[in-house]
Structures are given as structure tokens and as C-alpha cells.
Structure 1
Amino acid sequence: MDGWLLSHVKSPRPAVCFIPTASGDAPVYIDQFMDAFTARDCEPSVLPLFRRRLDADALRTFLLGQDIVYVAGGNTADLLAIWRVHGVNRLLREACGHGRLLCGISAGANCWAQASLTDSFGPLTFVRDGLGLLPGSVCPHYDSEPGRRTSYRETVATGMLPAGWAIEDGVGALFTDGRLTQAVTRTPNARLYWVQAEEDHRTSERALPCRSLLEAL
């Protein structure tokens, strides 16, 4: 999946910034990222915010100098709150406008949408103050965590979350200007779904085609 990610950047040696805020800048997560990307033809770096060392101008220069911003999983609500304190939310919007590739897993996927399903507060619930770069809502781990599918469909059906994207583990989805342009999977039979409300507090769930990751590379 990391190779598929890098294939969407034209630079021969792209700059890839890892933002581990959602995990509390967990060292083990940072080490895993650096191990994975140091072995690839790119320039990996990390932006810690719990021990921030860059002033506002340097932070902007650093983020806008990246080709890819890769956001870690963890706590979606904490991630969004901390980004707003440091102004990272505004800088990522600017980076998006400059054509940078923004991506992530779990909380790192939730953050780009208007809203998402999350376990940030313990039990599954929702947040509705995402960055809004991707219209609608997102639900990760749709097939792997108990209650995700039922909870997401219920919150969409009742209007607590807008219609959106349910992502099973192993699926990568590429959006361009808010429109799905490619979906791939490294896991056999894993799917991406579009979930929307219907009459009488019901939802429809439409599976979307996913190419094998091996075919996409």
C-alpha cells in the first residue's frame, strides 16, 4: 500500500511527512513509519506536536514543502483538537490547495472528512468537526471491529452523520477534488462502500469496485 501511495506523486524522490498526533506521538509508531519509508525511494520525516520545535513560519514552510502528508491512527477527536491549537488544520488546507497528497489510516482517514465514526470517547460515537476536505463522512475498520457496521449505518440513517464512505481493512481509496477516482485492496474480498440514508430510518450500502493492489502497481 505504501508503494501505491508513492506512485501517485510525480517527484522522483518525494518528501513524505508523518504526523503521529493521534497516537500521542508514540515512539513505536514513529519507528515503524521510518523503518518502512527509509527503505523506499523517498525523503521521510516526522512532525511531532507534543514537543514542537518549529515556529509558525517554519512549520508552514515545512508542511508546504512535503509531497505527501501521512497521518497516523489513534484518537480522532484529540487529533483534531491539537491540530487546531497549533494551526495545523489551516496549513493542511493550504497544502491541499497546493496539490499535496494527504492520506492516513484510521483516525488519519477520518480527519479529512466532514464527519466520522470514532471510538475517541470509548464507546462508538461520531465527530462532526473534521477538516471537511472530503465531503460526507468516513467509517474505517468497517469489517474488523465489532459494532462498526451497525453503528455507522444507524448514525447515517438518523442523520447524525451525513452519507459517506465505509472502508474495510486493507482497502485504499484515492479521492480527487472530493470524488472517488480509484480504490484498491491488498486483502482478498475487502470492499469500499457508499452508505446513505433512505426512507424510514434505513440505509443503503453499495459496494464499490476495488482493484487488486498488485494490478494497480
Structure 2
Amino acid sequence: MNGTVVALGGGGFSMSDDGTSLIDDYLLELTGATKPRVCFVPTASGDSDSYSGRFEAAFAGRAETSVLSLFCQDPWGYTDPRMLLDQDLVYVGGGSTANLLALWRLHGLTEILREAASNGTVLAGISAGMNCWFEASSTDSFGPLAPLADGLGFVKGSACPHYLGEPDRREKYLSWVATGVLPDGYAVDDYAAIVMRDGSLQEAIAERPGQPVFRVERAGDEAIEHEVPVRALQR
């Protein structure tokens, strides 16, 4: 896929006590717009109104905000998803990766987002909003952690968010890559993100110190972690 994807293993406004986030600041700067048009897509959380409200509060005054509600939630109602083509940044929230993918496909978002990215819209997201861009991922959409080989495939390989931040994430992801259940991919800790451009890794960033990112690859019957250099964001 042509375009830019920023995949957050965790962090951003949704994991901030006061809504401030260096990663979110970076996303706004990445658009190159003075007052970017930013649309939040909370599908994975069932269009949680409190989640969307936190987004709007975090970006108030520095972006033209909107929310795409595929559940027709008040006060946003239903909007034609092609409105995403008019955005500088599409920010996807966390929740159920499986539910997000199913609903997006029914509403035609796959091709809309691909077109938006090719026209310069930055695609970003946290947790499920990280997983969705890849071919496969580690997800708790079905309760216990499980492999999901059903992503959009905008980025090749697999994804694992919350790598060290949640129990069993690391152990299970390594086992799935080692056995070939999931393809090679990227494991991203909380408060860190990877920036992909035209399918290739540009850099890894973090808004807190000590938050690692790994490229995980199968080698025989093992999975090997290759730590990716992480640039610490500064205020």
C-alpha cells in the first residue's frame, strides 16, 4: 500500500491521564497541516461515546475533529464513510480487532482507506487500531489471546501491540511466530509506535523512556527478537 501508517502498541490520548500525548502531537505534525482534519474511528469499541468524547477533548483547538460512527451513535449519527477521503489523519481506536474488520468490510472501508492513504491521509491507530493494518495479529477479540490471520494487509506480516504491557502477549506471540501460525512481524510496547511508509519501516518512536519495539522473525523452530532503535519524542 502506498501511504503512511503509524501503528501504536499503546499510548496516545486513550492511555493518558490528562489526554496529552507526544505521539498524538507527532501525528498532527506528520500531516503537515496547520489545523489538520482528524477523524476518529471508534468501531472496535462499539463506537463508545466516552472514548470519542476523550478524543474530541484531546484534539480540541488544534484540529478539526470528527467521528465516524458505523453504529449510528448519537450525537454523530451515520456519515458516509467516504468522508475519510477528506481527512488529513484517520485515527483508529482500540477494542475488538475482529469486530472492527467485519464491520469495516461491510461498509466498504478497506478500499476507502487505501485510497485515502494513497492521497496523503495519515492512517494511525492503537491496539486493534494497530492490528487492523497488518495481514495478521495477536488479539483478545475472542476472550483469550489468539492469532488472527484476517487483517487488511496494508502492511505485510503480523502485529502484536501491548507487547510487554499485558500478561502473555510476548510469550504467545513468540510461540505463534515460531510455529508459523503468524508470519514474521512487529511487536510494539505500550507508549511506542512504528511509522511505516509505503510498506517499509521508517522509524520507531516512543513517548516514554524504555518502551521497546521488536522485529520478530522465525528462525527454524524459534522466534528471534531483533530490537528496533527507538527515537524518544521530546516536548
TM-score, normalised on structure 2?
0.86
1:160 to 181, 185, 193: 181
SS of residue matched to 1:8: helix
Q: What does residue range 62-141 of structure 1 map to in structure 2 within 5 Å?
A: 62-141=83-162
**Corresponding residue for residue 33 of structure 1:** 55
- List per-residue Cα deviations over 1:117-145 (Å, max 9, x = no partner): 00000111111111111111100000011
SS of residue matched to 1:94: helix
1:24 CA displacement: 0.2
Tell me the distance in 2 between the aligned counterparts of 1:190 and 1:59.
34
**Corresponding residue for residue 194 of structure 1:** 215
1:188 CA displacement: 1.4
CA RMSD, 1 decimal: 1.1
| 1:53 and 2:73 matched | no
2:206 to 185, 191, 194: 185
Tell me the distance in 2 between the aligned counterparts of 1:92 and 1:128.
20
**Corresponding residue for residue 195 of structure 2:** 174
Residue 132 of structure 2 aligns with an amino acid whose one-letter code is C
**Corresponding residue for residue 24 of structure 1:** 46
Could you tell me the percent identity over the aligned residues? 47
Structure number with greater CO (CA < 8 Å, separation at least 6) is 2
**Corresponding residue for residue 209 of structure 1:** 229
- List per-residue Cα deviations over 1:62-114 (Å, max 9, x = no partner): 11000100000000000000001111122111112222100000000000001
- Any unmatched runs of 5+ in structure 1? none
1:59 CA displacement: 2.9
SS of residue matched to 1:162: coil
SS of residue matched to 1:150: helix
Tell me the distance in 2 between the aligned counterparts of 1:59 and 1:150.
37
TM-score, normalised on structure 1?
0.93
How many positions carry a matched residue from both structures? 209
Greater shift after overlay, 71-80 or 87-96?
Answer: 87-96
Residue 53 of structure 1 aligns with an amino acid whose one-letter code is Y
1:11 CA displacement: 1.7
Is residue 194–residue 203 contact of structure 2 (8 Å, CA) maintained in 1? yes
1:53 CA displacement: 2.3
- List per-residue Cα deviations over 1:30-65 (Å, max 9, x = no partner): 0100000014x21111000011523xxx431x1100
SS of residue matched to 2:26: helix
